[in-house]
Amino acid sequence: MISKGQIKLITSLQQKKYRDKTGLFIAEGPKVIQELVASGVRLHSLFSTETFEDASVTTTIVTAAELQKISALTTANTALAVFEKPEQTVPHYEGLTVALDAIRDPGNLGTIIRLCDWFGIQHLICSTDTADCYNPKVVQATMGSLARVTVSYVDLKEFLQNAEVPIYGAMLQGTNVYTAQMPTNAILVMGNESRGVSEAIQQQLTHRLTIPQFGTSKDTESLNVATATAILVSEFRRA
């Protein structure tokens, strides 16, 4: 059974100010929860409608109706866990690093975290006005990849100013990504969904990349930022 105090705490974690205040976040679904536990993220509490497969994890068995009360999903999964947020780590420049300039959509951020995991990018750098990676929608979209990708929030301009590697930016005008020569060590900057890379961050770029449009229609919308990230990162890995 879930107490009123637990319900109040868990539902409050849907808001960033309470996640920041408590240092906690929620994750839903056995797969996501298991991956976070296996990666060493500290578990605060776990609520499930059935016994959790990991016998070492203390589980509070609840009804589906009780789980729905605390879920951030329209239809609750079978389990919800509260975790402690990992400590912020110092960003590094080793290998390929992806940096996000004011990415606001939780779904885009979650997908980009999954892409980083898939392509072996261990560190994702976010501007302070990028969506919170512990937003329940982001956590859900990562499908467990948040456990394996370190996300750091920094003053992006200052971070790039101190970089000792080439800085590539995704732009509408730039070198064709399919003909460009990309290095192993670099930073790839992806810009805001509607405005692209901000002027202040553009000034820090050493190279500009573009994904050429092969279709002839002028009415075609620009690529979704997560889709563009996938294409660009794939080309870096091909190099």
Structure token pair of residue 121: 């990018």
Report the alpha-carbon distance of residue 152 to residue 127 in Å, rounded. 8
Report the alpha-carbon distance of residue 32 to residue 149 in Å, rounded. 14
pLDDT of residue 239: 63
Backbone φ and ψ of 81, nearest 5°: -125, 150
Report the alpha-carbon distance of residue 14 to residue 72 in Å, rounded. 7
179 CB neighbour count, 10 Å cutoff: 8
Report the alpha-carbon distance of residue 52 to residue 11 in Å, rounded. 22
Does the model's pTM come out above 0.75? yes
The pLDDT profile of the chain, 239 residues, written as one tens digit per residue, is 789 999 999 999 999 999 999 999 999 999 999 999 999 999 999 999 988 777 678 899 999 999 999 999 999 999 999 999 998 877 777 899 999 999 999 999 999 999 999 999 999 999 999 999 999 999 999 999 999 999 999 999 999 999 999 999 999 899 999 999 999 999 999 999 999 999 999 999 999 999 999 887 776 777 899 999 999 999 999 86
